[in-house]
Amino acid sequence: MTQQELTAYIQANFDGKLTLLDTGRAEPMFEVKPEDLVDTARHLRDDPQLKFDFLCNLGGVDTRQRLEVVYSIASMTKHLRLDFKLALGYENPSAETITSVWPAANWYEREMNELYGIEIRNHPDLRPLLLPDDWDQGHPMLKNWDAPDFIRMPEL
């Protein structure tokens, strides 16, 4: 299955739950609505044509307009890659966990929770992973983050 065939297949079979974004890049990027996230993820994993069985990466993005969660998945048997994202507002960002679909999401979601402040609903173990245990300085990966000893690179 080529990239075009994959894109067409997803647009035909996911009844609008994954929207193709016009990013101007060669690889397709889809957007999913928060309420459809877990169902769509499970569907992507279980569809016999796709079998997306591997979560490569899960990361947050701060675009200064909104927060995004980007999921990169792969199919080991069908040799496919797919990216899709979830858009969240700045106010109380919260996303459902997808550890029930891909258990590998566990650590990524913990990391995202502490670095971006995105609340992960129903996560089995949402302890801090990277930051010190007594960290009380907010979420460092946000673009507007600041701390007393944080020195920003001077603009050249």
Partner 1 sequence: MKKLPVYTESIPGGAIVATNLEAVLNFGRSKSLWYLLFGTACCAIELMCTGASRYDFDRLGMIFRASPRQADLIIAAGTITKKMAPRLRRLYDQMSEPRYVIAMGGCTVKGGPFYYDSYSVEKGIDHIVPVDIYIPGCPPRPESLLEGCLHLQEKIRKQKLSEWQEK
Which residues of this chain interact with partner 1, rule CB under 8 A?
130-132, 137, 140, 145, 147, 149-154
In the complex, least distance from residue 119 CB atom to partner 1, rounded to whole angstroms: 20
User: Distance from CA of residue 79 to its chain's centroid?
Assistant: 20
Closer Cβ to partner 1, 19 or 137, answer by number: 137
Closer Cβ to partner 1, 16 or 132, answer by number: 132
Radius of gyration of the chain (CA): 17
In the complex, least distance from residue 132 CB atom to partner 1, rounded to whole angstroms: 5
In the complex, least distance from residue 87 CB atom to partner 1, rounded to whole angstroms: 25
Residue 137's CB: how many other CB atoms inside 10 A?
13
Local structure of residue 26 (DSSP, 8 states): S
Distances (CA, A) of 100 to 37, 41, 42, 58: 12, 10, 9, 15
Closer Cβ to partner 1, 76 or 130, answer by number: 130
Secondary structure in 3-state letters for 75-114: ECCCCEEEEEEEEECCCCCEEECCCCCCCCHHHHHHHHHH
Closer Cβ to partner 1, 34 or 140, answer by number: 140
CA–CA gap between residue 138 and residue 28 (Å, rounded):
33
Closer Cβ to partner 1, 29 or 142, answer by number: 142
CA–CA gap between residue 154 and residue 152 (Å, rounded):
6
In the complex, least distance from residue 148 CB atom to partner 1, rounded to whole angstroms: 11
